[in-house]
Amino acid sequence: MTAVPTPTTDDSVPQSAEPATPPLAARVSFTHTEHGVERPDPYHWLGGDGPDVLAHLASERAFYDASTVHLESFTSSLRREMLSRLPANDESSHWSRRRFTYWTRMPVNSDYAELRRRLNHDSEAGSTTDSESSSVFFDITAQDAGTGYLDLGLTLVSPDEDLLAYSVDVAGDEVFELRFRDLRTGEDLPDRVPRSYYGGAWSADSQWFFYTVHDEAYRPWQVRLHRLGTDAGDDVLVLAEDDQRFELGVRTTRSGALVCITAGSRRTSEVWAIPAEDPTAPPRSVGGRRHGVIYAVEHAPSPSADRLLVVTNDDAVEFRLMTARVPRDGDQDHTAWIEARPERADERLYRADAFADGVVLSYRADGQHRLRIVAHDDLAGDGITLRTRYDVGYLGLARNTSYDARTVTVRDETYLHPPIWSAVDLRTGHADEVHRAEAPGFDPKAYIAERRTFPAPDGTSVPAVIVRRRDVALDGTAPALIYAYGAYEAVDEPSWDAAVPSVLDHGIVWVHALIRGGGEGGRRWWLDGSMRAKQHTFDDLAAVADGLAREGLVDGARIATRGLSAGGLLQGAVFSQRPDRWRAVVAEVPFVDVVTTMFDASIPLTINEWEEWGDPRIREEFDWMLAYSPYDNLPAPGTRPDLLVTGAVHDPRVMVREPAKWVAALRHSDPEWSPRLLFRCETGAGAHVGPSGRVAHLGYEAEVYAWIFDRLGVDHD
């Protein structure tokens, strides 16, 4: 392994004229004591919301702004590069319903998309009006409240296609106001629900709407039912989930016949069904609730049977497919499921999407997401397999809203190619390209993406995708930027990002490390990187970086690493455990005060996270979290790489106190290094993933990349 020289002695990397005195937070005596273990926490006060906290965060932001003044021109240049790759006519593929065909269109230099539709030629147009035939039916930009932030929680057209339910967040705290629009007139109805969350479902007659409500800890714990034309205070409570480990979600099945409510924790779930034509009927459980059993359902009606498809880990690890009947009054046995497709150890089954002419299975095998079309009467068969056209790519279902469609639209993309949509015949598997996204001025042939593996300390082969310009050799001279996440069995599929080519065009090798804790290797890959095995996640990232340097692929003295949220925890852990390995680290909204947060049941994402990280009330689980918690394990002074941290006051997922406390502790523990630590804190409107809107977010990416390039010694004159 090539050691990374500390920046204080590395004259090859340009140093900015930074302010001499970064902010120092006051230290106030406070000690946590759990299981007989004392944990001093002198920055506990930063968990408050008083003016002293906001003043300190503002001083950190001012220090960041002053420290990056020399990068403003470079940031602007990067932003222009990224924006130049956005097409003038940026439209999505189309999806059809009975009366209208729908799509989205992003106007030039716009942050937000318009929702558009056109009347189908074969629909009954006798009752339509000229306004109804208009192309644009919802302009998101018109909802801008001038707060500097705007996001939509949902946009759902009613079954009769005359109404739109939509919800808006203008602060970044994921509290959405639910509204309804009459698409015949273009006017909003007076109905407004002031607090709602993601997910929703219409009744069959388009007069009732199901939505979720989150509590003060931001846990969606209720499903409520609103009848159009009534006051939101009179909305009906459909279901409440009192177990704080579970979150509720609600949706309509593609058939339109059922509304499904799902209660889910990390390791257990339960699903209820309600007839969409009888929205006030009581919800009926599909499979009950059994600890450790996860399942999801899809309605698959046919002339011969009205049944449900159930994807579950019941008596399986990588999930299997079952069938069940739609629950009825008086049903006692919720688990009378019939196996339809056994578990395959080399395939992680994610979902089953039912259409009249077949069932589309989404699964992962050999590190790639694939689709398989099977017949309703042969669910266990080999069917027709659909794979990405790229060596390193992603193929998945796009938006398909019609149960009776003869074809389904699939989306194929990779890091180096914008999405391509194709219509696939459900009976033959024949695919016809229907839409191709553009990237002006970008030539994918000038770049290459390849997959390699590197050994972890326990011998596990850790995959990584290496992306670079063809004229940038893997000969140990180029710097590298590694991105990783590694939690929740989540998969960051290979996808087009207009910002990444700017990394590659500046001679940097971009690496996506597919580490344990994520889902790239299936359910077992997640299990081997969570709870007591969480250290594997951190070891894997370091193993990829070490392998890149050891094999002489990149310059081992110029490796940067980046991650967000749980990926920010990853960055905090490897920053502490392997400070010698990195030239620079970017920890975005990092979950770094692990033990303190997991003890605080009053804040978001605590109790329902115990099945991902552990329950610190249990001594063994407390010990394994304390062993890696970045706030409790600071690296030795004098060994630290440059560090950029982000946070947002309104972030409901990682409270701003976590990065604020960590930054304060790091500054105090190494004053000489402290000027090389920057904290980009959003003190106004702002969200977990940064600024809202496409253009604004690319501006944020340009900021982050400008700092990384500067730290890696990339020329930006």
pTM: 0.91
Q: Cα(592)–Cα(657) distance, rounded to whole angstroms?
A: 10
Number of domains in the chain: 3
pLDDT at position 126 is 41
pLDDT at position 356 is 95
pLDDT at position 150 is 84
Pick from 266, 282, 384, 379: which is nearest to 331 by CA? 282
- Any domain includes 372: no
Ranges 138-152, 478-492, 670-684: which has the least confidence:
138-152
- Could you give the residue numbers annotated as active site? 565, 651, 688
Query: Which tokens is 686 given?
Result: 């702002």
Residue 224 and residue 126 share a domain? no
User: Which residue reads 């030539």 in tokens?
Assistant: 443
pLDDT at position 185 is 93
Whether 277 and 268 have beta carbons less than 8 Å apart is answered as no
3 has which bridge partners?
none
Q: Which of 143, 178, 211 is the last residue of a domain?
A: 143
- Supply the DSSP string of 492-557, one letter for each residue: ------TTHHHHHHTTPEEEEE--BTBSTT-HHHHHTTSGGGTHHHHHHHHHHHHHHHHTTSS-TT
Give CA torsion, residues 118, 122, 126, 129, to 10 deg: 10
pLDDT at position 472 is 98
Whether 680 and 686 have beta carbons less than 8 Å apart is answered as no
Ranges 53-67, 411-425, 508-522, 594-608: which has the least confidence:
594-608
pLDDT of 132 over the 80 cut = no
Residue 259 and residue 116 share a domain? no
Backbone phi, psi, residue 64, to 5°: -60, -50
Q: Band of the pLDDT at 5, cuts 50, 70, 90? A: very low
Q: Which of 258, 285, 312 is the last residue of a domain?
A: 285
- Angle formed at CA 81 by CA 75 and CA 82, multiple of 5 degrees: 90
- Supply the DSSP string of 373-414, one letter for each residue: EE-TT-TTS--EEE--SSSS-EEEE-----TT-SEEEEEEEE
pLDDT of 506 over the 70 cut = yes
Residue 122 and residue 183 share a domain? no
Q: For the CA atoms of the chain, what is the radius of gyration?
A: 26
- Residues 179-199 have pLDDT tens digits of 999 999 999 999 999 999 999
212 has which bridge partners?
223
pLDDT of 423 over the 90 cut = yes
- Any domain includes 47: no
- CA distances (Å), 553 to each of 2, 457, 542, 560, in order? 12, 20, 15, 14
- For the segment 651-659, the average pLDDT, to the nearest whole number, is 82
- For the segment 624-647, the average pLDDT, to the nearest whole number, is 97
- Any domain includes 349: no
Residue 675 and residue 587 share a domain? yes
Query: Which tokens is 428 given?
Result: 């033959």
- Residue 170 sits in a domain whose CATH number is 2.130.10.120
Residue 162 and residue 215 share a domain? yes
Q: Band of the pLDDT at 717, cuts 50, 70, 90? A: low
Residues 6+ apart with CB under 8 A from 461: 453, 454, 455
pLDDT of 7 over the 60 cut = no
- Any domain includes 7: no
- Residue 655 sits in a domain whose CATH number is 3.40.50.1820
Residue 465 and residue 560 share a domain? yes
- Helix, coil or strand: residue 56: helix
Share of the chain above pLDDT 70, in %: 93
pLDDT of 4 over the 70 cut = no
Query: Which tokens is 190 given?
Result: 């007076």
Residues 6+ apart with CB under 8 A from 377: none
Q: 10 Å Cβ neighbour count for 583?
A: 26
- For the segment 680-697, the average pLDDT, to the nearest whole number, is 73
Q: Cα(632)–Cα(294) distance, rounded to whole angstroms?
A: 34
pLDDT of 332 over the 70 cut = no
- Helix, coil or strand: residue 706: helix
Residue 676 DSSP symbol: G
* Total count of residues recorded for the chain: 717
Ranges 170-174, 383-387, 418-422, 571-575: which has the least confidence:
170-174
- For the segment 643-672, the average pLDDT, to the nearest whole number, is 91
Antiparallel, parallel or unpaired: β 584-588 and 509-513 = unpaired
User: Which residue reads 């996506």 in tokens?
Assistant: 512
- Any domain includes 66: no
Residue 279 and residue 134 share a domain? no
Helix axes 657-669, 51-67, angle to 10 degrees: 60
Residue 533 and residue 639 share a domain? yes
Residue 170 and residue 136 share a domain? no
User: Which residue reads 């159930």 in tokens?
Assistant: 310
Residue 588 and residue 502 share a domain? yes
Burial of residue 304 (number of CB atoms within 10 Å: 0-12, 13-18, 19+): exposed
Farthest-apart Cα atoms in the chain, separation: 78
Residue 134 and residue 161 share a domain? no
- Residues 66-119 have pLDDT tens digits of 999 999 999 999 999 999 999 887 889 999 999 999 999 988 777 888 999 999
Helix axes 694-712, 72-84, angle to 10 degrees: 130
Q: Cα(110)–Cα(694) distance, rounded to whole angstroms?
A: 7
pLDDT at position 16 is 42
The 3-state secondary structure of 226-244 reads EECCCCHHHCEEEEECCCC
pLDDT of 688 over the 70 cut = no
pLDDT at position 359 is 97
- Any domain includes 554: yes
Whether 415 and 494 have beta carbons less than 8 Å apart is answered as yes
Q: Band of the pLDDT at 529, cuts 50, 70, 90? A: very high
Query: Which tokens is 275 given?
Result: 């007839």
- For the segment 678-701, the average pLDDT, to the nearest whole number, is 79
- Any domain includes 646: yes
pLDDT of 534 over the 90 cut = yes
- Any domain includes 33: no
- Residues 562-582 have pLDDT tens digits of 999 999 999 999 999 999 999
Residue 643 and residue 617 share a domain? yes
- Per the prediction, the chain carries an average pLDDT of 91
Instruction: State which residues form the domain around 228.
Output: 152-285
Q: Cα(170)–Cα(711) distance, rounded to whole angstroms?
A: 34
pLDDT at position 703 is 96
Q: Cα(414)–Cα(447) distance, rounded to whole angstroms?
A: 12
Positions of E strands within 160-254 = 163-169, 176-182, 187-196, 200-202, 208-214, 220-227, 236-240, 247-252
Antiparallel, parallel or unpaired: β 559-564 and 480-483 = parallel
Whether 558 and 715 have beta carbons less than 8 Å apart is answered as no
pLDDT at position 128 is 41
- For the segment 672-694, the average pLDDT, to the nearest whole number, is 80
Q: Which of 230, 254, 285 is the last residue of a domain?
A: 285
Q: Cα 511 to chain center, whole Å?
A: 19
Q: Band of the pLDDT at 146, cuts 50, 70, 90? A: confident
